[in-house]
Amino acid sequence: MQKTAGIKIAAENRKARHDYHIHETFEAGIALTGTEVKSLRAGKANLKDSYARIDNGELMLHNMHISPYEQGNRFNHEPLRTRKLLMHRYEINKLLGQTKEKGYTLTPLKLYFTKGKVKVELALTTGKKNYDKRQDLAEKDAKREIDRHMRDKQKDY
């Protein structure tokens, strides 16, 4: 689990930044059970194939896997259950309009603890084409090569 200025990251969806264009990000709370929170503190979550959707006016997170808590008993949670995300009504209505009209998808990027509460970073995304992915990789390689060259030049002096 990473720590960044009072924030402990429990899970991160790194592949989302590679597969999607991220247009806007939002922070949402999440309704969890006790054993889910304990599993998150142990870093046992996976956001890989998860997505958010608005069902009956409520924002729901689908396909997020939280492993069962090891010391949990018969009251342990279902690993792939649908979880409710907590946002203000006007924010949900704004997201509903954007996902319906513009064809955006709601993708969770991070799951983290802040001030003892679990939060989800959601992003409005659109899918990347293969040529976009290749172009991003080429830019990343070029930047790495430039940084390496600059670092080597500084060592010479």
H-helix or E-strand spanning residue 15: helix 14-19
Judged against a pLDDT cut of 80, whether residue 129 lies above it is answered with: no
CATH code for the domain in which residue 17 is found: 2.40.280.10
Domain that holds residue 90: 2-128
Say if CB 61 and CB 30 are below 8 A apart. Answer: yes
Query: Mean pLDDT, the chain, as a whole number?
Result: 83
The answer as to whether 133 is a domain residue is: no
The answer as to whether 153 is a domain residue is: no
Say if CB 47 and CB 123 are below 8 A apart. Answer: no
Q: CA 7, CA 29: separation in Å to the nearest integer?
A: 14
The answer as to whether 32 is a domain residue is: yes
The answer as to whether 117 is a domain residue is: yes
* pLDDT band (50, 70, 90) for residue 88: very high
pLDDT in tens, 29-67: 998 888 888 888 888 888 888 888 888 888 898 988 888
The answer as to whether 12 is a domain residue is: yes
The answer as to whether 51 is a domain residue is: yes
pLDDT at 157: 66
